[in-house]
Amino acid sequence: MANQSAKWHRYLRFWRPNVAADVDAEVAFHIDARADELCAAGLDRGAARARAEREFGDVDRTRATLRDMDERHAALDRRANALGDLGRDVKVAVRALRRSPGLVAVVVLTFALGIGITSAIYSVVDAFMFRPLPGAYGRELVVLGRTDRELAIPHPLSYPDYADIRADTAVFASLTAYTSRLVDLNTDRGADRIWIDDATANYFSTLGLAPMLGRTFSPGDDDGELAHPEMVLTYVAWQRRFAGDSGVIGRVIRINDHPVTVIGVMPPSFHGVRAVTELDGVVPINQVGPVVTAALSNRRNILVNVFGRLRDGVSMSAAARALHLKAAQLARAYPLTNANVDEMVVREHFARPDVSISGSTPVVAAIFMSLVLLVLLVACANVASVLLARVVVRRRELAIRTALGASQWRIVRQALVECSLLSLGGGLAALPVTFAAVRAMQSIRIATDLPIRWGMELDGRVLAFLALATLVAAVVASIAPAAAARHRDLNSLLKASAGNSASGGHTRLRSTLVIAQVAVSVVVLVCAGLLVRSARNALHMDFGFRPDHVAMAATEWRAPAYDSVRATRMYHDILAKAASIPGARSVALTGFLPFGFSRDNVPVFPIASSAHVPVNGFNYFYDAVGGDYFATMDVPLLAGRTFVPGDSAGATQVAIVNDALAKALWPGESAVGKQFHTRSAGGPVLEVVGVVRGMQDLVPGETPHPYIFRPLGQLVPEEMTLLVYTNTDAAAALPGLRRAITSVDAQLPVFDTRTIEQHLRDGQALIFPRLGSEFASIFGVLALLLATVGMYGVIAYSVAQRTREIGVRVALGARMPVILRLVVGQGMRLAWIGVAIGLALAVLVAGALRAILFGVPPRDPLVLTTVVVLVTIVAIVASAVPARRALRIDPIRALRDE
């Protein structure tokens, strides 16, 4: 038995060395030979064997040692061999690819775009969905939200509710509350506005994050009010505002004119716990003024965002049940405030950027990622198509190599190595594409002084994704060419090359793919064209106010330096200073800008109105304005008068309304002289002194909403924007506006300085059409490029397959134009079918876009014609290269080759 198995092992040696059997045989031979020798010397068989084994020493251990040594060596040996083979394959592939630089360029470019764009979009999804917050517990964090049975969207918690949950609920290991605000960092130069979190003292211990310099908060640092004015800086703020000075620890700075001690600096990985904004620092809650003691005990005031982590072994559903129970308990204890309140918990990365959209983030990310993977897949299909054409062209070479004894595995491996090299090149070329795309996305500005931080970074995680995408692309794109190269009987491939039989199905499939690609790119291009035209038009459409030659700068006052009387004087001083800016025609102040990011409304109860007044009154937007607001904004007065200096704090409370409000409350009557209560049915009475034309405020092209203007003085907003209408370049006036504010009080912050054009372009008005047109343009060009490569692949493949047919035609006297028409016509057929389908779809999609198209009909002939012409040109170019090859076919050789 043993012997037989030993023989059997010997055959295995052809496959790979059998280490165990060899070692056993060698040792056995030694002992046998020594025993034989001893026998010959006169010992009996048994004794001889025993002595031979004794002389050998520990037989089993020696065997084990030898096997171990040999196995390790054999493994090393195999690896070295494999590397050697791979090196040879790579050399052959490089040589082959060098001969077709055009193919290399097309494939690498396709891969680079596909992989690059996919990775760039992944960087966005990663920032919003996957990347854990820094700190030891970054991956375990959960976020709490409060739901109202009447208001389904989750929102922040009230501080007392948070405190009760933290004290009584056993499921959380740690629970932190924070609220974010913009504050002034007072410096010698004036005031910078910085973005901070007011947080409970366990903020950093919940994250498990240690400071880079100094310390973080100690327990109890959030006790009382203004007792522990201390601040932990983020790395970015430390670099930007304190020039990375390590002496900053222990320094007293001024926040909102309160002294605050810097106690620590966090590492660079920390940007706050909220995606999208760049935090400057964290202070203990209620320790840096203004005091919020009242808010902290008000269960109605939904003030704090809450995050934390669960105790070990507590599941999400257990935590949700515990919160539910606690909410019910609170509802019984405080029916006035908590009757309808429930609390929910989600994983932190599902609550980005805010708990209120915790339901939709995964869906949006999934849609985005599938779109992106689709792009990658199309890129792979195109590359596969191009490489397949190459395999068919090279079938003779492959047949010869097979005939010369190259194994099928060898040929398949060659195809795989070629494709891997190409995708490796594509992956490398994708790096700059990704880099540029991420940079472009990071540079998107929106008009707000909130420090926006698009979280995408070209970091290890994105690079790992890029590598993975490259690998997937290499595998997916090489399946078809490798399968074709493996074709068992290459003769049948040669016969099939006449272009019928088995490959017909392939061609149809690939033609369908190309038609789909063309159609998709037509849809995207039409949308892009419409959005680009719309974004252009939108800048020049009539919003109901002056769209140019207005410079703006905002400022803000705070107690205790100011009260409403002193602030009124300050605002009037600013207006006086601004009036002397060279080129200034008129100056004004406003609390809320049209198309700004903030606005406020107030309940209105009209007197002597024929309108049906709801129980809670009408909710109308309002604003306080100073100076020549209506002249500056070029808003015509329709009736009555504008505000005069006499409309001051002590005088009759007056208002100017827009025509929309006048029409809503007093239809068919003059609104001037009419009165209405605000806030409640018995609230303060305002008298209407003028009616102005309405301005668009929320959505470009909208019908204006009812709007109330109050004179500055009777209402004194804490934040106002200075507007200067100039007869010169508005941008040139901006430094003058800044000086006008700081010359009144050097400690006043100046922010949001920009021209009204910038406000419109980067602001709420046009940001979505603009971003839409930019993204659509990029994707349109990408889709068109991919479609081009796809068309090229299919037509090149078909020319390669029809070499014989074309040769016959040439031999029978077909002229060049006939051949050209044959090849290019095929490309045009595909393109036009795609264009027809694409146009039909585009009209449907553009109809849905109608809402954000300004001054462009969804079937804009200019856009549609441009797209059709563009796609046609691209189809001609994509067919031209294979057509040239078809023209060079030598009929004699084509026929002989077959």
Partner 1 sequence: MPPTAADLDLLQGTLDVMVLKSLSWGPMHGFGIAKWIRQTTDEILQIDDGALYPALHRMEHRGLIGADWGLTENNRRAKYYTLTPKGRQQLRARAASWDLYSRAVSKVIHATAQPA
Instruction: Decide if residue 43 touches partner 1 (CB under 8 A).
Output: no
Q: Which is nearer to partner 1, 57 or 505 (CB)?
A: 57
Shortest gap between Cβ of 88 and partner 1 (angstroms)? 23
Region near partner 1 per CB under 8 A, out of 22-30, 540-548, 662-670, 801-809: 22-30
Q: Which amino acid is at 144?
A: L
Is residue 763 within 8 A of residue 849, CB to CB? The reply is: no
Instruction: Decide if residue 12 touches partner 1 (CB under 8 A).
Output: no
Residues 304-343, one symbol each (x = binds partner 1 by CB under 8 A, - = not), give ----------------------------------------
For strands 281-284 and 190-199, give the pairing. Answer: parallel
Is residue 58 within 8 A of residue 3, CB to CB? The reply is: no
* Sole binder of partner 1 in the list 33, 94, 611, 732 (CB under 8 A): 33
* Beta bridge pairs of residue 176: 307
Shortest gap between Cβ of 37 and partner 1 (angstroms)? 8
Q: In whole angstroms, what is the distance from residue 458 CA to residue 465 CA?
A: 11
List strand residue ranges (DSSP E) for 524-599, in order.
550-556, 584-590
Q: Which is nearer to partner 1, 61 or 189 (CB)?
A: 61
Instruction: Decide if residue 638 touches partner 1 (CB under 8 A).
Output: no
Q: Which is nearer to partner 1, 30 or 536 (CB)?
A: 30
Shortest gap between Cβ of 24 and partner 1 (angstroms)? 11
* Sole binder of partner 1 in the list 26, 85, 245, 397 (CB under 8 A): 26
Q: Which is nearer to partner 1, 56 or 130 (CB)?
A: 56
Instruction: Decide if residue 8 touches partner 1 (CB under 8 A).
Output: no
Secondary structure letter of residue 715 according to DSSP: B
Instruction: Decide if residue 39 touches partner 1 (CB under 8 A).
Output: no
Q: Which is nearer to partner 1, 61 or 612 (CB)?
A: 61
Q: Which is nearer to partner 1, 54 or 98 (CB)?
A: 54
Region near partner 1 per CB under 8 A, out of 29-37, 106-114, 152-160, 187-195: 29-37
Shortest gap between Cβ of 783 and partner 1 (angstroms)? 58
Q: Which is nearer to partner 1, 76 or 644 (CB)?
A: 76
Q: Which is nearer to partner 1, 57 or 668 (CB)?
A: 57
Q: Using H for helix, E for strand and C for coil, what is the string for 844-867?
A: HHHHHHHHHCCCCCCCCHHHHHHH
Instruction: Kindly report the number of other CB atoms within 10 A of residue 19's CB atom.
Output: 18
Is residue 854 within 8 A of residue 537, CB to CB? The reply is: yes
Shortest gap between Cβ of 46 and partner 1 (angstroms)? 19
Q: Which is nearer to partner 1, 61 or 488 (CB)?
A: 61
The DSSP code sequence of 157-196 is: EEHHHHHHHHHH-TTEEEEEEEEEEEEEEEETTEEEEEEE
Shortest gap between Cβ of 4 and partner 1 (angstroms)? 14
- Site residues for partner 1, 453-512, by CB under 8 A, read none
Angle between helices 101-125 and 460-485 (to 10 degrees): 140
Residue 353: cis peptide before it, omega within 30 degrees of 0? yes
Extract the tokens encoding 871: 């796609």
Closest CA to 388 of 798, 831, 111: 798
* Sole binder of partner 1 in the list 5, 8, 20, 32 (CB under 8 A): 32
Shortest gap between Cβ of 30 and partner 1 (angstroms)? 5
Q: In whole angstroms, what is the distance from residue 343 CA to residue 778 CA?
A: 42
Provide the greatest CA pair distance for the chain.
140
Secondary structure letter of residue 342 according to DSSP: E
Shortest gap between Cβ of 56 and partner 1 (angstroms)? 5
Q: Which is nearer to partner 1, 64 or 105 (CB)?
A: 64
Q: Which is nearer to partner 1, 34 or 585 (CB)?
A: 34
Shortest gap between Cβ of 459 and partner 1 (angstroms)? 43
Instruction: Decide if residue 22 touches partner 1 (CB under 8 A).
Output: yes
Shortest gap between Cβ of 54 and partner 1 (angstroms)? 9
Tokens 């040669």 belong to 494
List strand residue ranges (DSSP E) for 205-311, in order.
213-214, 230-233, 252-255, 258-265, 276-277, 281-284, 302-310
Region near partner 1 per CB under 8 A, out of 26-34, 152-160, 775-783, 841-849: 26-34
Q: Which is nearer to partner 1, 9 or 155 (CB)?
A: 9
Q: In whole angstroms, what is the distance from residue 574 CA to residue 583 CA?
A: 16
Q: Using H for helix, E for strand and C for coil, what is the string for 22-76?
A: HHHHHHHHHHHHHHHHHHHCCCCHHHHHHHHHHHHCCHHHHHHHHHHHHHHHHHH
Q: How far apart are the first and last CA of the chain?
A: 58
Is residue 73 within 8 A of residue 392, CB to CB? The reply is: no
* Sole binder of partner 1 in the list 34, 324, 461, 677 (CB under 8 A): 34
Q: Is 638 left (phi over 0), alpha (psi -120 to 50) or beta?
A: alpha
Q: Which is nearer to partner 1, 33 or 502 (CB)?
A: 33
Region near partner 1 per CB under 8 A, out of 23-31, 192-200, 259-267, 540-548: 23-31
Is residue 607 within 8 A of residue 675, CB to CB? The reply is: yes
Shortest gap between Cβ of 29 and partner 1 (angstroms)? 5
For strands 230-233 and 281-284, give the pairing. Answer: antiparallel
* Sole binder of partner 1 in the list 29, 91, 489, 670 (CB under 8 A): 29
Instruction: Decide if residue 397 touches partner 1 (CB under 8 A).
Output: no
Shortest gap between Cβ of 45 and partner 1 (angstroms)? 16
Q: How far is CA 712 from CA 486, 570, 624, in A?
A: 83, 11, 5
Q: Which is nearer to partner 1, 26 or 85 (CB)?
A: 26
* Beta bridge pairs of residue 181: 196
Would you state the torsion angle of the CA atoms of residues 721, 726, 728, 734, taken in this order, to the nearest 10 degrees?
Answer: -20
Instruction: Decide if residue 687 touches partner 1 (CB under 8 A).
Output: no
Secondary structure letter of residue 316 according to DSSP: H
SS3 147: strand
Instruction: Decide if residue 9 touches partner 1 (CB under 8 A).
Output: no
Instruction: Decide if residue 24 touches partner 1 (CB under 8 A).
Output: no
Q: Who's near 264: CB < 8 A, 6+ residues apart?
A: 211, 212, 213, 214, 215, 216, 232, 233, 249
Residues 54-83, one symbol each (x = binds partner 1 by CB under 8 A, - = not), give -xxxxx-xx--xx--xx--x----------
Question: What is the sign, positive or negative, of the torsion defined by CA atoms of 148, 149, 151, 152?
Answer: positive
Extract the tokens encoding 244: 């990375």
Q: How many residues bind partner 1 (CB under 8 A)?
A: 22
Instruction: Decide if residue 84 touches partner 1 (CB under 8 A).
Output: no
Q: Which is nearer to partner 1, 32 or 729 (CB)?
A: 32
Q: How far is CA 539 from CA 527, 755, 762, in A?
A: 18, 13, 11
Q: Which is nearer to partner 1, 33 or 367 (CB)?
A: 33
* Sole binder of partner 1 in the list 9, 24, 30, 837 (CB under 8 A): 30
Instruction: Decide if residue 130 touches partner 1 (CB under 8 A).
Output: no
Q: Which is nearer to partner 1, 37 or 223 (CB)?
A: 37
Region near partner 1 per CB under 8 A, out of 30-38, 229-237, 627-635, 771-779: 30-38
- CA triple 725-728-729, angle to 5 deg: 95
- Give contact residues for partner 1 (rule: CB under 8 A): 22, 25-27, 29-30, 32-34, 37, 55-59, 61-62, 65-66, 69-70, 73
